[in-house]
Amino acid sequence: MLYLFFKIKKNTRMFKHIKIITAVAIAGINLMACGDTKSKKDPKNQAKEINDSIKKANPSASVKSEDAEFLAKAGYAGVKEIKSSEAIKAVTKNADVIAFADMMVKEHTAMGDRIKAMANPSVKNVAIQKDLNEEDQDDVDDFKTDRDADKDYAAMMVKDHERVVKLFEQGDKTVTDADIKAFISDVLPKLRAHLDHAKELRDKLK
C-alpha cells in the first residue's frame, strides 16, 4: 500500500510537470505568433523592408543612395495614386469622385513621366517599381465589392498624400541631386493642392 501511495504521488507530480511544460510551450507559441503578427503589421518593419528592397534594386544608381531611394519612393507613390484612381473610376457613379480621380491620373502620370525620365538607365539609373505591393493591391481590389468605396478612396487619398507631401518635404531638405531637387520644388505645391482637394472630397462624402 505504501509503495502504491508513493507511485500515485510521483505520477501526480509528473502529470503536473507535464501540464506546466505544455502551458509554457503554448504560451511560447502564442508569443511567437503575436510577435510575427506585429512584425507583419508594424509600419516601421514594412518601411525597412521597402527601403532594403530599394537599395538592392538600385546598386548601380548614378546618384547618392538617399537620392535614389527618394526617387524610387516618389515613383511608387505615383503608381499607387494612378492605379487607385483608375480602380475607383471603374466602380463609382459619383461625379466628384470621378473628377478627382481623373485629376489624379492625369497629374500623377505627368509626374511619373518626369520621374521615369530621370530614373532612366542612361541618366540616373534608378529602378522604379511598376506594380503595387500585395497589400496595396488588395486595398485597391476591395473597391470592387466595397459599399463605401467612394469614402474609402477619399480617405486613402488623404492618407497617401499626407505621406507623399511629408516625403517630398523631407526630400527638399536632404536630396542633393540638382535635377531631383528641381523636380521636388516644382511638384511639392501640386501635391499639397492634391492633399487639400482630397480632404475636401473626404469631407463632402461624410
C-beta separation of 129 from 71 below 8 A: no
Q: Are residues 33 and 59 in the same domain?
A: no
The CA-atom distances, in angstroms, between 189 and each of 123, 161, 192, 201 are 25, 12, 5, 19
- Give pLDDT tens digits for 159-205: 999 999 999 999 999 999 999 999 999 999 999 999 999 999 999 99
Can you tell me which residue has the cell 501526480?
12
Q: Are residues 35 and 117 in the same domain?
A: no
**How many angstroms separate the CA atoms of 95 and 116, rounded?**
31
Q: Are residues 51 and 153 in the same domain?
A: yes
Q: Are residues 140 and 50 in the same domain?
A: yes
Q: Are residues 23 and 60 in the same domain?
A: no
Q: Are residues 53 and 151 in the same domain?
A: yes
The tally of domains found in the chain comes to 2
- Give pLDDT tens digits for 8-30: 344 444 444 434 333 434 334 34
Q: Are residues 3 and 101 in the same domain?
A: no
By residue range, what is the domain housing residue 171? 43-204
Q: Are residues 56 and 23 in the same domain?
A: no
**How many angstroms separate the CA atoms of 59 and 57, rounded?**
6
- Give pLDDT tens digits for 99-109: 999 999 999 99
